[in-house]
Amino acid sequence: MFASLCILGRQPSLGLAELESLFGADFIQLVGDIAALLDIAPGDVPFSRLGGTVKLCKVLTVLDSSDWHKICSSLEEIVLHQIEDLPKGKIKLGLSLYGFDVPINQISPAGLTIKKAIKKAGHSARIIPNTTSALNSAQVIHNQLTGRLGIELVIVRDSGTTIVAQTVAEQDIASYTLRDRGRPKRDARVGMLPPKLAQIITNLAIGESSVIRHPSSAKPLETDDRGQETTKPLVLLDPFCGTGVLLQEALLMGYSAYGTDIDPRMIEYTKTNLDWLQKTYNLKPITYNLLQGDATSYRWTELFDIVATETYLGRPFTTKPDDKTLSATVNDCNVIIKKFLGNIASQAKSGLRLCLAVPAWRVDDNFIHLPLLDSLTDMGYTRLSFVHADNKDLIYYREGQIVARELVIITRI
């Protein structure tokens, strides 16, 4: 039986690609359209670095039914088993359903039945009321459902069976908000890359490796001044670093950060933000290198191991542009990004892995892509694909947004 269950975010394909990139396709099994099973113990999943997973759960059992009424009769026994070793005190219980077409008013009775069973077993309990089928992150965190006296049962329909799991970690929305809006330097004109998306981009660039658990063990052993063997963290390069969101997330994951940008103001902004990050998160002395440079021509003299970046996205559009304006914008972006890929290809070793967030334009419910994506092989790159996610779905966007971010994972041939 799979040990862990991941509840994926708003765009599940991004979360699936992230998981597959880090753990490999063989360790993942898709459940419905919003969850994935992992053949990895919850304690071995580096949850805090996953931008595309909302909840990490421990699988408790798999029921041979997807009938809600039959499932309800099993939940009481499952919960009583989970509370056997809990300390005295009021237990907080929440139920989250995924893949079920069950009215909200049928979830509460199940909770009340379990509450009675908990009381009979000598504990008091409080049931967290559902306003939707599944509790959101704020409800889980506010009610301490991952704490010592908290239980969130996650119930996921998987065709004719049902997976019952317990949440062990919830996405830290307060920390994401702080890293997004609390940074001292922000600039909407160069884009506002969400930290969650920056995590996904970084993980797609890293790929499957032991560095997931131990980033500092990724490079060969070296010898320090005392003759003792030491290790150095991987170096992540962001050639369009902007205000430093990607570098920020890389540092929090334990990597070294190397950023360049054509605008000297962005270099100053990034330095201010990374210094703020170190103080705010009480990090050990962090390693980063920031230099002004045009990504289409710059010569990176410092060594780097991976590339993760949000490239030039072109003009921002709040309304649908006319064909001429859109065509000119697509061409401008294509020229700049193609020059960048040609420049870094001339400096990169075979096998270098890159994850690029490039622009895609959503017009009349269709996406217009960069022309260069059809000629990556001619430019010296191989585009990677995934078993559990289609490349065409690796586009981050929100409703009403015209300029989207398409995630392209490539390696140098």
The tens digit of pLDDT for each residue in 228-250 reads 555 788 999 999 999 999 999 99
Picking from 4, 151, 1, 134, the residue whose alpha carbon sits closest to that of residue 62 is 1
Mean pLDDT within 175-185: 95
Stretch among 12-26, 141-155, 197-211, 294-308 having the lowest mean pLDDT = 197-211
First to last CA, the chain: 38
Query: What does the chain come to in residues?
Result: 413
154 falls in which pLDDT band (50, 70, 90)? very high
Residue pLDDT, tens place only, 290-318: 999 999 999 999 999 999 999 999 999 98
226-264 burial, b at 16+ Cβ within 10 Å, e below that, comes to eeeeeebbbbbbbbbbbbbbbbbbbbbbbbbbbbbbbee
| Dihedral over Cα of 114, 120, 125, 129: its sign | positive
Residue pLDDT, tens place only, 44-84: 999 999 999 999 999 999 999 999 999 998 999 999 999 98
Q: Which domains does the chain have, with CATH numbers?
A: 4-171 (3.30.2130.30), 176-412 (3.40.50.150)
Q: Residue 87: its pLDDT value, please?
A: 87
Mean of the per-residue pLDDT values for the chain?
A: 93
The residue among 295 and 364 whose pLDDT is bigger is 295
DSSP letter string, 359-379: EEEEETTEEE--GGGGGTTTT
Picking from 249, 272, 289, the residue whose alpha carbon sits closest to that of residue 52 is 249
Mean pLDDT within 262-287: 94
pLDDT at 211 over 80: no
With beta carbons less than 8 A apart as the criterion, state whether 145 and 90 touch: no
Mean pLDDT within 14-38: 96
225 falls in which pLDDT band (50, 70, 90)? low
Question: What percent of the chain stands above pLDDT 90?
Answer: 85
